[in-house]
């Protein structure tokens, strides 16, 4: 949806009043395929049982079949992309895939130096969200909701980041008030009471509020960039979606 709206907004900005071009529809389709494949891979890596309230692919078909399915989707996306014959678009989307994978690798590790750790988190988030500022906002909000939303609201298990050993924005901000969290982060919350201790520290700190501030900054920057486009229903829809991301509860 976002890519489709962006295409429409760009068309209006450049004076092209016609409908979405076939080549643009292809890019939209390829983008969705890459996104879908990344979600399947994510669920396999995280061992997720559900995705948006439904049984996850890996739970229904097993990890091996899921990995192969996601790889096949990526191969189909690559083939479709190559048929466009646009080297610049191929280069751009290839970088998106490259960033997604690098982001996953970065998520597996952390930095010992607390000052470097937050930059590591931001870079990982940027890469995992296809290098889009607006999507970074969504990712940070996801990290917040993992602490404050219910399973029913999210349509998937919550409070899972800590169990997976991930130190997200709320935890990293909480570290400034509770330095003892640094040791838990470095052992990826594998101690007997680490997950619960970290969860309580986050709720006692201003970590969630500061995370919302961070997400808001991403939102403002995204809206600022979108406003550079000429006024159009598509541009306004992009702005509306960006604001709604910050307000969502699922």
Q: 132 or 250: whose pLDDT is higher?
A: 250
* pLDDT at residue 51 greater than cutoff 90: no
How far apart CA 177 and CA 12 sit, in angstroms, is 48
Instruction: Tell me how many helices (H) and strands (E) the chain has.
Output: 13, 2
Mean pLDDT of 218-229: 93
How confident is the model at residue 50, as a pLDDT?
Answer: 85
How far apart CA 94 and CA 75 sit, in angstroms, is 12
pLDDT band at 151; cut points 50, 70, 90: confident
* pLDDT at residue 235 greater than cutoff 70: yes
* pLDDT at residue 133 greater than cutoff 70: no
If you average pLDDT over each of 101-105, 153-157, 167-171, which comes out highest? Answer: 167-171
> What's the mean pLDDT when you consider all of the chain?
90
* pLDDT at residue 105 greater than cutoff 70: yes
Contact predicate 78/15, CB 8 Å: no
From the list 232, 229, 221, 227, the residue with the least C-alpha distance to 245 is 221
Give the pTM.
0.85
Mean pLDDT of 184-199: 94
How confident is the model at residue 177, as a pLDDT?
Answer: 96
From the list 169, 138, 165, 166, the residue with the least C-alpha distance to 154 is 138
From the list 155, 140, 162, 147, the residue with the least C-alpha distance to 216 is 140
């Amino acid at each position: 949806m976002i890519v489709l709206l962006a295409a429409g907004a760009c068309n209006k900005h450049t004076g092209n009043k016609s409908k979405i071009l076939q080549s643009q529809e292809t890019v939209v389709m390829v983008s969705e395929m890459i996104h879908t494949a990344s979600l399947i891979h994510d669920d396999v890596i995280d061992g997720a049982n559900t995705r948006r309230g439904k049984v996850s692919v890996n739970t229904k078909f097993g990890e091996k079949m899921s990995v192969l399915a996601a790889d096949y989707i990526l191969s189909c996306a690559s083939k479709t992309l190559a048929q466009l014959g646009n080297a610049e678009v191929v280069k751009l989307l290839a970088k998106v895939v490259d960033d997604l994978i690098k982001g996953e690798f970065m998520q597996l590790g952390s930095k010992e130096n607390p000052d470097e750790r937050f930059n590591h988190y931001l870079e990982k988030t940027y890469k995992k969200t296809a290098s889009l500022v607006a999507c970074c906002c969504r990712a940070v909000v996801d990290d917040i909701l993992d602490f404050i939303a219910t399973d029913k609201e999210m349509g998937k298990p919550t409070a899972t980041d800590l169990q997976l050993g991930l130190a997200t924005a709320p935890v990293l901000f909480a570290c400034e008030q509770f330095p003892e969290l640094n040791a838990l982060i470095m052992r990826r919350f594998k101690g007997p009471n680490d997950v619960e201790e970290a969860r309580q520290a986050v709720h006692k700190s201003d970590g969630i509020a500061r995370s919302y501030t961070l997400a808001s900054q991403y939102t403002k920057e995204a809206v600022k960039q979108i406003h550079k486009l000429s006024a159009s229903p598509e541009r306004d829809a992009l702005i509306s979606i960006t604001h709604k991301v910050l307000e969502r509860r699922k």
